């Protein structure tokens, strides 16, 4: 079980859920929420990363707001200030690197809205060196992304069939931009999958087999790039 902490962000503070590995130390992972907010499912994912040996942190990008209603979730997403989200991501990376328990490097993993934000984190700060993006859903033009910081970094995408697979225009645009910047990209498709197939609290979309494959691939890329 983790705990709620606060870190500095743009002169203020942002709350986050933190979980530590049993060993007491490990590489850092920022876990970025879906549009529901910092709900129990995301905290469970943080706990799973800690059990796998990572110092895991999920910032509360909605600063206390959470919902299980799609209309309200859309309202929260549309009200998200991208400049503040960028500062929260950078602040989370600095916070992890400031903790004695965090050794190695920092990666970011996110889902839906968080899939886009986690991918964006690699373009925002040098401190995030690998990203794992599950069915990213925010248009890049809202973010004004400068992909040049992806030189020497690695990004993986987990693409649902419902969203158009890895051939979706947004996925292909991000892949081309990261590779042009000198980064490496791996795309994974999950046949028959719906959007949010990793969320085991949503039985209407959850796919246990595909979720397990995506989890194993995420752990593998994080362990390969963050341990040194």
Residue-wise pLDDT tens digits, 13-26: 889 999 999 999 99
Whether 10 has a pLDDT exceeding 80, the answer reads: no
Please report the pLDDT score of residue 138 as a whole number: 61
Beta bridge partners of 17: 4, 58
C-alpha–C-alpha distance, residues 134 and 116, integer Å: 8
Average pLDDT score over the chain: 91
pLDDT: is 205 or 85 the higher one?
A: 205
Residue-wise pLDDT tens digits, 112-156: 988 988 998 999 889 999 999 999 976 666 667 889 999 999 999
C-alpha–C-alpha distance, residues 69 and 159, integer Å: 24
Residue-wise pLDDT tens digits, 164-179: 999 999 899 899 999 9
- CATH number of the domain residue 204 falls in: 3.40.50.1820
Please compute the mean of the pLDDT values over residues 188-214 and round it to a whole number: 97
Please report the pLDDT score of residue 166 as a whole number: 95
Please report the pLDDT score of residue 16 as a whole number: 95
Domain that holds residue 61: 3-226
* pTM, two decimal places: 0.94
Q: Note the Cα 10 to chain centre separation in Å.
A: 20
Residue-wise pLDDT tens digits, 204-214: 999 999 999 99
Please report the pLDDT score of residue 61 as a whole number: 87
Q: Where are the alpha helices (DSSP H) in 99-187?
A: 113-124, 169-180
The count of domains in the chain is 1
């Amino acid at each position: 079980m983790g705990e709620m902490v606060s870190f500095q962000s743009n002169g203020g503070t942002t709350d986050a859920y933190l979980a530590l590995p049993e060993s007491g130390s490990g590489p850092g992972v920022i876990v970025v929420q879906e549009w529901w907010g910092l709900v129990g499912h995301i905290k469970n994912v943080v706990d799973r990363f800690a059990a796998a040996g990572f110092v895991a942190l999920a910032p509360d990008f909605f600063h206390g707001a959470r919902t299980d209603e799609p209309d309200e979730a859309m309202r929260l997403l549309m009200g998200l200030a991208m400049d503040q989200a960028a500062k929260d991501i950078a602040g989370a990376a600095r916070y992890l690197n400031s903790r004695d328990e965090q050794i190695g490097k920092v990666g970011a993993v996110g889902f839906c809205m968080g899939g886009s934000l986690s991918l964006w984190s690699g373009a925002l700060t040098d401190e995030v060196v690998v990203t794992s993006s599950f069915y990213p859903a925010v248009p890049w033009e809202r973010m004004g992304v400068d992909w040049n910081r992806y030189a020497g970094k690695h990004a993986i995408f987990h693409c649902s069939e419902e969203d158009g697979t890895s051939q979706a225009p947004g996925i292909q645009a991000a892949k081309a931009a990261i590779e042009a910047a000198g980064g490496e990209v791996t795309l994974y498709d999950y046949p028959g999958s719906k959007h949010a197939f990793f969320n085991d609290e949503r039985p209407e979309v959850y796919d246990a087999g595909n979720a397990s494959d995506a989890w194993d691939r995420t752990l593998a890329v994080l362990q390969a790039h963050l341990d040194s």
